Amino acid sequence: MKERSLAVYLAAFAAAVAVPLLLLSGLLAWRYAQAERARLEAGGLQRAENVAAEIDRLLSSRLAILRVLATSPAIDRRDFAQFDQQAREFSGMGIDIRLRGLDGQLLVDTSLPRGTLLPLWPLIAPMREAVEGKSVVFSDLFVSRGTGTYAVAIMLPVLRNGEVVALVSTTFSPDVFARVMAEFGVRAPYFASLTDRSGLIIARSDRHAEMVGRPLVAFDAATGASGTWRGANVSGLQVFAFYIRSPLSGWLVTLGVDEAALNRSLWLSVGWMAATGLLLVSVAIGMAWFIVGRLAAASRAMTDAAAAVGRGQLTVVPKTLVAEVNRVGEAFAQTSVRLHLQAAALARANRELEQRVEERTVELEASEERYRLLAENASDLIILRNAEGRVFYASPSARKLLGYSQDEMREVKPSEIVHPEDWQRVDAINQDISEGKDLGFSIHRLRHKEGHWVWIQAAYSRIAGVGPDEPNIMVVVRDDTERQEQEARLHQSNEALRQFSAIVSHDLQAPLRHINMFSDMLKSRVGEGDPQAAGYAASIMASVERMQRLIRSLIAYTQVAYASVKHDDVDLSRVVADAQALLAADIEAAGAEIRVAGLPTVVGDAELLVRLFQNLIGNAVKYRGEDPLVVTIRARPAGRFWELAVEDNGIGIDGAYADRIFEIFRRLHRDESRYPGLGLGLALCRRIVESHGGEIWLDKQWSGGARFILTLPRRRTEKPVKRGGDDAEDRSQAADRR
Ligand code: ADP
């Protein structure tokens, strides 16, 4: 719906109230005017009838007097003095009587003093009419010959034996009828006239003297005995008229009602109605104006308050003269207070937030600076790139390691500088990381800017949660040349040592074989003749044999101990199974139970690791006690290492010897027959573990037998596991246990 001002609605309301009221008052006014008109008309008719009846009564009473006088015997005797006397009896009532002969001679006239000489006037028209018609005639208006004034008369022929002998008459002054009209209350707005049969006015209720003798305007329209007529009367007034024709005299009584008077009530009502309507409309408009004013003031107050709330001001809404608006205002004020409090709290929170953001920004900047410094100053080369090989950042070490500046590094693709033989491996790691793997490690060659190859170790980490245009791989590149060279040197020295031991053992073996051979010859030469000498020879031979065993063991030891170590992924459960297989006969003979639980895969040399477990399990079997032997091997993660425990329920080892047992040729049990051995087993174990980068020690806390603990490195691609502390802590705990 269209929006409209309150004033419009109120105006509509005012109109809705005023219009029916106006219509109602109009209807009432109309009904009133109609009733008033009917009342006036009825009054007019009543008056017309009354006036006509009274005039007829007057005429008939005079006629009665004339009829009585006409029968007077004095006429027959021609005793006119007698007749005059009889007639003058009515003079007291103001009635004049005349008697005249058919020749026109006046015989009696009571209007004149007695004895006056009476004139002879010829008969006028109505007299002749009466004589000829032998019946009474009511005259039209005429001018009296005696007085010269207007008059009307009743003429009655005196009949004797059917013949007219004389004429008796009486005359009326028109004033008589005017008086009758006045007596019957005919006055404005009523106008009555009495008209003779020719249409001349005999008498009139208004301006009688002036009007007598004038023709009645509407006389011709008045046909029949009675009726109504409308038009302008003799005075020029618009009238509504009733007329009644007297059956006695043939005269016409007309009574007009002033149309203006008839309509006056109507106009009066219309005037009242208009005034009432005007008043109603002005009251309605005034009320509407007043209400709109009040509401507009209230609405202004509310609008101002709303604007103030909008500006965040505390608002007190002024009291208006409209209670409902004041309720809204109070609610508004409360809301403004609440909003104010909320806004204040919000502003406070905002300030705190800004402060925190500022602090965090500073922290972040500091930390970024630290990382930048770290990257800038690290001797390792740090590269941030994406899986496609686009380099976003390279630390300054690029120059030292590969001869490139930081900017040049950004233009170099990994595929261009990785050694073709290593590329497949490096690309596989790249692939793994772009598919979601977190870590990767490789040792490979990169081409220096000057063209030669540089051995490096590269550790890859995936950077999670970055956009497509940001680096998602961090590579830390470390120069591996030195380690490679060391390894090569070690390899060389090991090789040399191996060759030396081979030569030594070979060279030692030959003289020992000679000693053994000659001792044997000596023994058979001295024979039974010198049992003592034969005994010496046998001792020499036993020592030689022991010497040979020692040398063989030494050779075996050096071959294992100085072998170059491989770095393969090795499944330890496989390793332990192989070791068990090699010891199967001994294990079975001892009735030992080997329990193995969840062994991991480590990086190392499978052959050496088999040897390691072969020695440890073998010792457990060898140094078993009275109880049935149970050997348990279990593993648990410890930082970058797996920690493995090999424990038995055998005779155990005194903690005091915990270190010494790992020394070469160190034995705690010299009883060869019961515990055969050369004291090389644990020394070799330590050598193997250390060549893998781990450690081995005896758990001094363990008292149920012997427990060896050793660590082996986890695979590089596995995440280090935190167990309530870092690596260093694990190591120190381990050290405590030793
Ligand atoms: P060998 O067994 O040849 O004597 P090792 O170097 O293997 O040499 O062991 C050194 C010494 O440690 C042994 O002489 C033995 O006294 C002790 N030892 C090694 N393993 C165990 C074990 N599982 N239980 C008890 N003593 C052991």
Render pLDDT for 398-441 as a digit per residue (tens, 0 to 9): 898 999 999 999 898 888 899 999 999 999 988 888 888 888 88
d(CA 100, CA 113): 16
Query: In the block, which residue shows the tokens 């009574």?
Result: 255
Are the C-beta atoms of 513 and 503 separated by less than 8 Å? no
Q: What is the pLDDT of residue 63?
A: 93
pLDDT on residue 231: 86
Taking the CA of residue 650 as reference, the ligand 1 atom at the shortest distance is 24
Any idea what DSSP says for residue 225? S
Q: Which residues pair with 601 in a beta bridge?
A: 571
Task: List 707's β-bridge partners, or say none.
Answer: 647
Q: What pLDDT is recorded for position 357?
A: 93
Residue 90 pLDDT exceeds 50? yes
d(CA 218, CA 232): 8
**DSSP string of 44-105, one letter each residue:** HHHHHHHHHHHHHHHHHHHHHHHHHHHT-HHHHHT-HHHHHHHHHTTGGGT--EEEEETTSB
- Give the mean pLDDT of 291-316: 79
Secondary structure letter of residue 633 according to DSSP: E
Question: Which tops the pLDDT comparison, 531 or 458?
Answer: 458
489: Cα separation from own chain's centroid? 79
Query: What pLDDT sits at residue 157?
Result: 96
- The type of residue at 731 is R
Is the pLDDT confidence value at 60 over 90? yes
Alpha carbon separation from 691 to 684, 686, 697 (Å, rounded): 10, 8, 15
pLDDT at 617 over 90: yes
Average pLDDT of the segment spanning 539-544: 88
Q: Which pLDDT does position 717 carry in this prediction?
A: 65
699 CA to centre of ligand 1 in angstroms = 14
Q: How remote is the CA of residue 667 from the centroid of ligand 1, in Å? A: 6
Q: Which strands, in side-by-side order, build the sheet including 439-447?
A: 391-394, 381-385, 473-479, 453-462, 439-447
637 preceded by a cis bond (ω within 30 of 0): no
Amino acid identity at 135: S
pLDDT, averaged across the chain:
87
Quickly list H helices, 387-422. Answer: 397-402, 406-411, 414-417
Return the pLDDT at 642: 94
Measured in Å, residue 688 CA sits from the centre of ligand 1 at: 17
Distance CA 586, CA 582 (A): 9
User: What is the phi-psi region of residue 667: left when phi exceeds 0, alpha when psi lies from -120 to 50, beta otherwise?
Assistant: beta
What residue's CA is closest to ligand 1, atom 7? 681
Distance 445 CA to ligand 1 centre (A): 44
- Asked which of 77-81, 581-585, 677-681, 688-692 is least confident by mean pLDDT, the reply is 677-681
- H-helix or E-strand containing 290? helix 259-310
- 514 contacts: CB under 8 Å, gap ≥ 6: none
Which of 611, 667, 670, 709 to mutate to test ligand 1, by most ligand atoms within 8 A of the CB atom?
667
Q: In the structure, what pLDDT confidence band is assigned to residue 698 with cuts at 50, 70 and 90? A: very high
* Ligand 1, atom 16: closest residue by C-alpha: 668
CB 649 within 8 A of CB 704: yes
User: Given pLDDT bands bounded at 50, 70 and 90, which one contains residue 722?
Assistant: low
pLDDT surpassing 50 at residue 726: no
175 vs 181: CA distance, rounded Å: 10
Nearest to 385 by CA among 476, 470, 457, 477: 470
Residue whose structure tokens are 């348990």: 632
pLDDT of residue 487: 80
On the 0-12 / 13-18 / 19+ scale of CB atoms within 10 A, 470 is: exposed
pLDDT recorded at residue 730: 44
Q: Name which residue sits closest to atom 20 of ligand 1, judged by CA.
A: 619
Q: How far apart are CA 426 and CA 437, in angstroms?
A: 14
Q: At which residue do the structure tokens 């013949």 appear?
A: 163
Binding-site residues, ligand 1, Cβ < 6 A: 619-620, 623, 648, 650-653, 661, 666-669, 677-683, 706
By the 8 A CB rule, do 398 and 454 touch?
no
pLDDT band at 609 (very low <50, low <70, confident <90, very high): very high
Mean pLDDT of 387-404: 89
Mutational pocket test of ligand 1: of 653, 664, 688, the residue with most ligand atoms within 8 Å of the beta carbon: 653
Confidence at residue 734, expressed as pLDDT on a 0 to 100 scale: 46
Predicted confidence (pLDDT) per residue in 500-526, tens digit? 777 777 788 888 888 888 888 888 888
pLDDT at 682 over 60: yes
Angle between helices 323-377 and 259-310 (to 10 degrees): 30
Between 277-286, 640-649, 682-691, the lowest mean confidence (pLDDT) is in 277-286
In this model, does residue 733 exceed pLDDT 50? no
Amino acid at 19: V
- CA–centroid distance, 545 to ligand 1, in Å, is 22
- Determine contact, residues 523/540, Cβ cutoff 8 Å: no
Three-class secondary structure of residue 240 per DSSP: strand
Mean pLDDT, to the nearest integer, of 638-653? 93
Which of 653, 656, 631, 634 is CA-nearest to residue 702?
Answer: 653
Which atom of ligand 1 is nearest the CA belonging to 679? 8
Instruction: Give the residue, by CA position, lying nearest to ligand 1 atom 19.
Output: 619
